[in-house]
Amino acid sequence: MHHPEKVSHDGIVQVALEIIGRVRHRSPRVHCITNTVAQNFTANALLALGCAPSMTLSPGEIGPFVTGAQGLLVNLGTFDDERREAIGIAVEAAAKQRLPWVLDPVFVDRAPPRAAFARELIGRRPAVIRLNHIEFSELAGDAPSRDAAMAFARNNRVVVALSGATDLVTDGKRVVSIANGHPLMTKVTAMGCVASALVAACLTAEPDALHATVAAAVTMGVAGELAAEKSIGPGSFAVAIIDALHNLGGPTLTARAKVS
């Protein structure tokens, strides 16, 4: 039986603030292998946080792109043979320069080849896997719960970010819950893909992958809350969350963070 370590609320929010501050200051290059549905929204979210995104998927040139980047996201949405090849090259380039990377196994429950490929990628040691409950069940072979997420994190030596009404982040020892966010986030496509890209951004500025993941999740959740206050539906919400990511300052993040 594993008892999760306690994490101080104030401490972890302060750390999150500092991580976001470093991201904005350093303007890291974040390369995203992501689906074509999510590309534009993801690039704009990364720019709003001060990053320099790139998105090429060509196997012939993705190696140099990743080598020149500080962060990497691997998202499986709308993938094909060429993308699979590109992912292989990108992950190898990341491993060579010890670049921590994020895996987002989108729709892994829908098609067996996708699940098999995701399992193979987990063996290649991402720093963080960010996924929803259905995707977790498919990959972990277990119902989503705090204990199951901790076990999955330990077995795969990875930080797990299990998204939901409350996000749960664990490295197998520590567990953090983030209760920020808004229901409209489920009504805009690629919102989860964007959240995973923000994890990749935060990993460029923080070696502790759990802290980086929490920083991204709090930022995304608070931006969602701010956006909801200025929106009348999912169209205006998608616009407002980019504004919020751009304008979000430390005091607002501190005041609104619901981390435990």
Binding site for a second copy (CB under 8 A): 35-41, 43-44, 47-48, 53-61, 63-65, 68, 77-82, 107, 110-114, 187-190, 231-236, 238-247
- Of 10, 17, 14, 31, which is closest to residue 204 (Cα–Cα)? 31
Shortest separation between residue 104's beta carbon and a second copy, angstroms: 14
Shortest separation between residue 22's beta carbon and a second copy, angstroms: 18
CA–CA dist 163, 117 (Å, integer): 21
Q: Which residue's CB is nearer to a second copy, number 41 or number 152?
A: 41
Shortest separation between residue 90's beta carbon and a second copy, angstroms: 13
Q: Which residue's CB is nearer to a second copy, number 42 or number 177?
A: 42
Q: Which residue's CB is nearer to a second copy, number 114 or number 211?
A: 114
Q: Which residue's CB is nearer to a second copy, number 209 or number 220?
A: 220
Please enumerate, as own/partner, the contacts of 76-80 that have beta carbons within 8 Å and a separation of 24 or more: 76/35, 76/104, 76/105, 76/106, 76/107, 76/108, 76/114, 76/117, 76/118, 77/34, 77/35, 77/37, 77/38, 77/104, 77/106, 77/107, 77/193, 78/35, 78/36, 78/37, 79/35, 79/114, 79/117
Amino acid at 33: I
Tokens matching residue 165: 């009404």
Shortest separation between residue 220's beta carbon and a second copy, angstroms: 14
Shortest separation between residue 81's beta carbon and a second copy, angstroms: 7
Task: Report helix, strand or coil for 49.
Answer: coil
Shortest separation between residue 201's beta carbon and a second copy, angstroms: 14
Q: Which residue's CB is nearer to a second copy, number 107 or number 152?
A: 107
> Which H/E stretch holds residue 48?
helix 39-48
Q: Which residue's CB is nearer to a second copy, number 14 or number 56?
A: 56
Task: Report helix, strand or coil for 219.
Answer: helix
